[in-house]
Amino acid sequence: MVAQLSGILLSPVILRIFDSKDIGMLNLFNQAVAFFMVFSVLRLDRAIVLAKNDEAKKILQSGLLLIVITTLLITLATFPFSGFWFGLMKLDYPALFILALPVSFLLQSTINFYKAAGNVFTLYSVLGTVIAIQAILTQILKITFGFSLGKGPAWLILAEMAGYCTTLIFLLIVFHKKAKFGFRIASFQQLKEILASKAVFLKYDIPAAMLNYFSSSIAVFLLAMFYDTRVVGYYALGYSMLRLPMTLMGKAIGDVFYKNAADIGDKMELLRKSASNVVIQLFSFGLLPMASIFFFGDVIFSFAFGKHWIIAGQYAQIISTWTLVWFISSPISNLYYILKIQHRFTAVMFSSLVLRAGAIVVGSLIGDIWLTLILFSIISLLVYGYQVVFLLHRLHVRAGDFLKALWKSTRFAVVPLLIMTILNLVSLPTPITLAIIVPVITLAMAFRWKYKPQLKL
């Protein structure tokens, strides 16, 4: 909650300093780092959650060796050719700035791997603290750099890297104290043995992870190709504001669900109840926030970030239609690993990539960004919706019982949704609209929290 609030409260300041081009370039940089992170540890971050303490430490050591190797390879692939990459991205910075890519990769990969290991040692309070520290520090540094150094994507990138450094130091200290694990790197022989024992993750997870990465990132790259970085900036802001609370909540729930599901194993009845409960609770949690963006995204973004970001709010209105379903499907996608059907995950991600890329290409060839986003949203809604239905069906969830429980959990939202629909039709001034929907949603969510229904599945 602290991390979410810091992003929500400080983003309006940041977005009054930096423009859409800066945000778009930052997003492209982060997507480039994310590409290398997909295969940086050869999916050992998934395997480590299923391991016991001693084996988990060996996997962590092996993963750190892989990260170091990948960092060196990225450096060799970027620094000697900095002129080419800077020309491609149309950047005007000193050549040494290209080193930000491998350094950012090293920091983020190590942090993510330690976070995965934190699930094994049940260091959930530590992980929560890490998320809060990283979020607050990064936002403050972006504001500080913006006021003192001026706008530009370089300062946004450097602020994030400084946040990663602090987070990593904190993680290393805590792991040394609570998990009795220092920063040790495995030998090549140990790495070979670990990879041999986790061959299934190499066989299925790396292709699936690559497809998942391209499926989730394809919009950024294709929008940059067919349009420009300003469009990317508007899309990135809309998408990131939608995903900010969803990612933090969904990631935390997904990590815990993955660990609990791994402990449950093949006890299908318990697994079915756990997965169904996660889907229903996440839907009830995200329904009203997503509905508020769907109805009033342009109003909210214009009020919070300034009138020059109203287009980002309009983009957010369109993509909010599938973000909620993505939010639900993301945590339970861990079931592919629990049920040992990673090959199905690969097939779903391949289909997702082809269909979502096709939607953007068709819309872009017509030359209409609004049509592009609408087609992309429709396809994304179908893809993630299918994933939820498929996994619940795989667990033999009874549709009737599930729908009854879903209605019981979400009927608190009927009145707020009706009020938002009416407000959207009458078009009141922005301050009045916000003065109504904010307390309505707050009271409805508080009611949902206090009178949490007991679900029978």
Task: Pick the more confident residue, 352 or 451.
Answer: 352
The pLDDT value given to residue 380: 92
CA distance 133 to 3: 8
Q: Which two tokens stand for residue 449?
A: 């929290």
The pLDDT value given to residue 95: 59
**Which helix or strand (DSSP H or E) is residue 269 part of?**
helix 268-305
Q: Kindly tell me if the per-residue pLDDT of 91 is higher than 60.
A: no
DSSP letter at 452?
Answer: -
Structure confidence by residue, pLDDT tens digits, 41-70: 777 777 776 667 677 778 878 888 888 888
Residue pair 215/44 in contact by the 8 Å Cβ criterion: no
What's the first-to-final CA gap in the chain, in angstroms? 29
CA distance 313 to 302: 7
Structure confidence by residue, pLDDT tens digits, 279-330: 888 888 888 988 999 999 888 888 888 888 899 999 999 998 888 898 888 8
The mean pLDDT of the chain is 82
Q: Measured at the alpha carbon of residue 425, what is the angle toward residues 422 and 430, in degrees to the nearest 5?
A: 90
Q: Which two tokens stand for residue 115?
A: 């976070």
Q: Kindly tell me if the per-residue pLDDT of 358 is higher than 60.
A: yes
The pLDDT value given to residue 376: 93
DSSP letter at 227?
Answer: S
The pLDDT value given to residue 421: 92
Q: Kindly tell me if the per-residue pLDDT of 249 is higher than 70.
A: no
The pLDDT value given to residue 32: 82
> To 10 degrees, what angle do helices 2-14 and 124-149 make?
10
The pLDDT value given to residue 248: 59
DSSP letter at 54?
Answer: H
Q: Which two tokens stand for residue 177?
A: 């104290």
Structure confidence by residue, pLDDT tens digits, 269-293: 888 888 888 888 888 888 898 899 9
Say which residue the tokens 């969830």 belong to.
Answer: 397
Task: Please state, in angstroms and as integers, the Cα–Cα distance from residue 222 to each residue in 314, 363, 364, 377, following that order.
Answer: 19, 11, 9, 15
Dihedral sign computed on CA atoms, order 31, 325, 6, 136: negative
Q: Rg of the chain over CA atoms, in angstroms?
A: 22
Q: Lowest-pLDDT range, 1-15, 90-104, 107-121, 416-430? A: 90-104
CA distance 59 to 63: 6
Q: Lowest-pLDDT range, 9-23, 102-116, 256-270? A: 256-270
CA distance 291 to 269: 33
Say which residue the tokens 């299918």 belong to.
Answer: 386
Give residue 382's pLDDT band: very low, low, confident or very high (50, 70, 90): very high
The pLDDT value given to residue 371: 92
The pLDDT value given to residue 182: 62
CA atoms lying within 13 Å on the CB side of residue 441: 18
Nearest to 70 by CA among 48, 114, 115, 39: 39
Query: In terms of DSSP H, where are the helices of 150-228?
Result: 153-178, 188-197, 199-200, 206-226
Q: By percentage, how much of the chain surpasses pLDDT 70?
A: 88
Residue pair 302/313 in contact by the 8 Å Cβ criterion: yes
Q: Kindly tell me if the per-residue pLDDT of 37 is higher than 70.
A: yes
Task: Please state the rounded mean pLDDT for residues 236-242.
Answer: 84
CA distance 300 to 317: 10
Where does residue 183 rank: exposed (0-12), middle (13-18), buried (19+ CB within 10 A)?
middle
Task: Please state, in angstroms and as integers, the Cα–Cα distance from residue 205 to each residue in 38, 46, 223, 237, following that order.
Answer: 10, 9, 27, 30
Neighbours of 174 (CB within 10 A): 20
The pLDDT value given to residue 415: 92
Neighbours of 147 (CB within 10 A): 11
The pLDDT value given to residue 416: 92
Give residue 183's pLDDT band: very low, low, confident or very high (50, 70, 90): low
The pLDDT value given to residue 295: 92
pTM score, two decimals? 0.73
Nearest to 409 by CA among 225, 305, 233, 281: 281
DSSP letter at 93?
Answer: S
Residue pair 185/41 in contact by the 8 Å Cβ criterion: no
Cα 85 to chain centroid distance, Å, stands at 26
